[in-house]
Amino acid sequence: MSNIEKATFAGGCFWCMVKPFEELPGIIEVISGYMGGHLPNPTYEQVKSGTSGHREVVQITFDREKFPYSGLLDLYWPQIDPTDPDGQFIDRGEQYRTAIYYHNEDQRQAAVLSKRNLDENGPFKDPVVTDILPAEVFYPAEEEHQKFHQKNPEAYKDEQTNSGRQSFIQNHWQGHEDL
């Protein structure tokens, strides 16, 4: 039986969601892409415009024996504002809403439990609105969007800072990273 699984998370702009998961023991690959829409093979422009119905996501291939799914959830939550129903930071629209796409029943149960724990014990007054949805067809994003933080370090840094993501994470997640 293989220990290799996929995990898929929507957390707003996918450029900002790759780096936190990379280079950890048991993480095999992190790919930026699209999930959840109605157009086959959507382009970045179609997704960004909100016309395809997809969300920007990262899909992580991991070895669950070396890095359990619960560890991925623990990394995911502090990257986002789970209380924002309209997008993430300066990126607005359905294509930037948060979601955990589960690939099996164990992942679904872990995601539901993790969300409930965050809602009950987290640092937020507003309810956690991150969707938990079954995984659908994953479409990898175009090559220029893969490993954006490595290819465009200054633009990545600007996106983290100017979008409000970095300050939100510092202001809301400090001391709550283990929920």
Q: Which of these is catalytic: 13, 30, 31, 47?
A: 13
Cα-based distances in Å from 149 to 23, 40, 134, 137: 13, 27, 28, 25
How far is it, in rounded angstroms, from Cα 115 to Cα 93?
Answer: 22
13 noted as active-site residue: yes
For 37-94, what is the HEC assignment?
CCCCCCCHHHHHHCCCCCEEEEEEEEECCCCCHHHHHHHHHHHCCCCCCCEECCEECH
Burial class (CB in 10 A: 0-12, 13-18, 19+), 95: buried
Question: In this structure, are residues 19 and 146 in contact, taking their beta carbons and an 8 Å threshold?
Answer: no
Q: What residues are labeled active site?
A: 13
